[in-house]
């Protein structure tokens, strides 16, 4: 009897104290990286702005390259022209002037990729890219393709999804231009087809959930999703939309969220493609000259012009951010800007590569230039140092959604972070990106990411009238060089009328 009474007393005390806070893994318990990570090499002043190596795909490579990225310590090179027939190669890149290929796979259906969306599902890592399947039963087919990158030595194509209304060879009107993976949803930018919304719960069998066409029509070039906020940008236009996507399939325009990109004089300017880096929406100018235009998205209902740079001899393609530098492929050259003060950015150098130079991707203290036509054989991607010393500073969160103190957030809310540089998705897990309720109970969910953005999507809908706490501890999420976050970030939001504070 005495033993039974003791257990009853213990149970009562535990009940009275409430649920115990979750015991989180250490922030760096995800690692280490499988590959050697980003560039560790230093360069002399005379070595800057010159090619030190080239990246090439397999024998079938058409020398038509675009975007590169890194995952789990390896550089990833998708190589495919817009008419498909290409592949994915992975390299050791710690010595960027002597990259070592570790894995490669050819596929007839991969189409030129302007970005890559990553997800970790059931312990495996998947990536989404563009797809062109060619003529099938008298119909041109294409849309979305998913690969398994769990084993870097053997990237594996696992599924294709044909999307309605896809048409090629028009390169801009009715094709897949880019993808963005958030939770179990992939947003596919379909140009005049708007946005295809795909359920990727099972990456081996993705399903089209719905299609959203904007009124008036918008030629969608890209979707970037940061938590409940999405930026939908056009291809070769000025119109841009900021949307509430707290329900994944409902794309609601935010009040004040529609704007025409304009320069510092207030003159409307078309851009070729757009991106998000930290708190900025970034737009690569075209036709009337190159360079960039930046808008501050810190208050999504009131986007504010932040700065620009006009290169009269350029014609912009794609734009990326690494800490205080911006990178623009300007067709005839690649521009690098010191944007420490983005309102007074300074061009610090240019990269050159034979061909149509639309893409320049920063990786630590080097950049990878890429041309999508007119390349010298085997030289469609060139590695160029732009800083003497390797990157040693960790990534910093500049924008997150929900914002600190937000109330009445929907129960379908996802949580997103936008860093001032690209981060290695391998480092994003429950210890480095912590989501809990106010009592400290962990919210289970799915992590996804691409480039500067990572997202957390809860497995179940959030509870009504509940406060949630998000913590990004120091020493967790890392950039391409393995440098971790340096300062802890904590913010709170509520699905009710007030945020509970300790």
**What are the extents of the domains in the chain?**
20-34+394-494, 45-385
Question: Is omega for the bond preceding 216 within 30 degrees of 0, making it cis?
Answer: yes
Residue 479: name the closest of 430, 423, 439, 428 by CA.
Answer: 423
Residue 218: what pLDDT? 96
Phi, psi of 121, deg, nearest 5: -130, 125
| Residue from 71, 112, 44, 61 nearest 363 by CA | 71
Instruction: Please tell me whether residue 342 adopts helix, strand or coil conformation.
Output: helix
Interatomic CA distance for residues 473 and 487, integer angstroms: 7
What is the CATH number that goes with domain 20-34+394-494? 2.60.40.3710
- With residue 16 as reference, give the H or E element that holds it: helix 2-17
Using a cut of 0.75, tell me whether the model's pTM lies above it.
yes
Mean pLDDT, the chain, integer: 94
Asked if the model's pLDDT at residue 13 lies above 50, the reply is: no
Residues 228, 325, 101, 60, CA torsion sign? positive
Query: What token pair was written down for 184?
Result: 């179990």
- CA nearest neighbour of 412 among 463, 353, 358: 463
Q: How would you classify residue 438: left for phi > 0, otherwise alpha for psi between -120 and 50, otherwise beta?
A: alpha
- CATH T-level assignment (fold) for domain 45-385: Methylamine Dehydrogenase; Chain H (2.130.10)
Choice between 30 and 31, residue whose per-residue pLDDT is larger: 30
Q: What is the pLDDT of residue 22?
A: 85
How far apart CA 299 and CA 280 sit, in angstroms, is 11
- Stretch (H or E) spanning 86: strand 86-92
- pLDDT (0 to 100) of residue 68: 97
- SS3 of 390, please? coil
Q: What is the pLDDT of residue 101?
A: 98
Q: How confident is the model at residue 502 (pLDDT cuts 50, 70, 90)?
A: confident
pLDDT at 18 over 70: no
């Amino acid at each position: 009897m005495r033993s039974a009474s003791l257990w009853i007393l213990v149970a009562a005390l535990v009940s009275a104290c409430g649920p115990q806070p979750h015991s989180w893994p250490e922030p760096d318990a995800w690692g280490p990286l499988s590959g050697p990570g980003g560039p560790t090499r230093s360069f002399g002043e005379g070595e800057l702005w010159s090619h030190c190596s080239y990246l090439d795909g397999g024998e079938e490579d058409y020398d038509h390259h675009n975007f590169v990225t890194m995952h789990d310590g390896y550089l990833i090179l998708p190589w495919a022209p817009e008419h498909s027939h290409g592949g994915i190669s992975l390299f050791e890149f710690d010595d960027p002037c002597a990259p070592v290929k570790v894995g490669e796979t050819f596929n007839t259906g991969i189409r030129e990729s302007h970005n890559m969306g990553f997800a970790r599902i059931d312990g495996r890592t998947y990536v989404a890219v563009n797809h062109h399947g060619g003529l099938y039963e008298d119909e041109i087919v294409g849309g979305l393709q998913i690969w398994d990158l769990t084993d870097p030595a053997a990237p594996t194509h696992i599924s294709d999804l044909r999307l309605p209304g896809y048409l090629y060879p028009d390169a801009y009107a009715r094709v897949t231009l880019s993808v963005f993976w958030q939770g179990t949803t992939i947003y596919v930018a379909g140009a005049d087809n708007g946005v295809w919304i795909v359920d990727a719960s099972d990456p081996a069998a993705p399903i089209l959930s719905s299609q959203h066409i904007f009124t008036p029509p918008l030629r969608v070039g890209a979707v970037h999703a940061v938590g409940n906020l999405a930026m939908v940008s056009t291809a070769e236009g000025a119109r841009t939309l900021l949307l509430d996507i707290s329900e994944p399939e409902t794309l609601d325009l935010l009040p004040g969220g529609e704007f025409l990109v304009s320069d510092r004089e207030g003159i409307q300017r078309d851009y070729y493609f757009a991106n998000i880096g930290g708190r900025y929406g970034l737009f690569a100018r075209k036709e009337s000259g190159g360079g960039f235009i930046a808008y501050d998205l810190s208050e999504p209902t009131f986007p504010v012009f932040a700065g620009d740079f006009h290169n009269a001899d350029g014609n912009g393609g794609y734009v990326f951010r690494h800490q205080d530098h911006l990178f623009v492929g300007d067709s005839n050259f690649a521009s690098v800007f010191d944007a420490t003060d983005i309102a007074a950015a300074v061009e610090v150098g240019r990269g050159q590569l034979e061909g149509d130079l639309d893409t320049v991707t920063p990786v630590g203290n080097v950049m990878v230039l890429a041309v999508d036509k007119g390349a010298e054989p085997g030289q469609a991607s060139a590695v160029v140092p732009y800083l003497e010393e390797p990157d040693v500073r960790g990534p910093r969160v500049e924008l997150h959604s929900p914002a600190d103190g937000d109330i009445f957030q929907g129960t379908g809310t996802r949580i997103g972070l936008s860093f001032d540089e690209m981060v290695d998705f391998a480092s994003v897990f429950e210890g480095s990106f912590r989501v809990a309720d106010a009592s400290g109970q962990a919210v289970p969910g799915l992590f996804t990411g691409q480039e500067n953005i990572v997202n957390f999507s809860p497995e179940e809908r959030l509870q009504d009238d509940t406060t949630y706490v998000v913590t990004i501890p120091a020493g967790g999420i890392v950039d391409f060089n393995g440098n971790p976050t340096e300062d802890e970030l904590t913010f709170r939001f509520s699905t009710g009328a007030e945020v509970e504070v300790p």
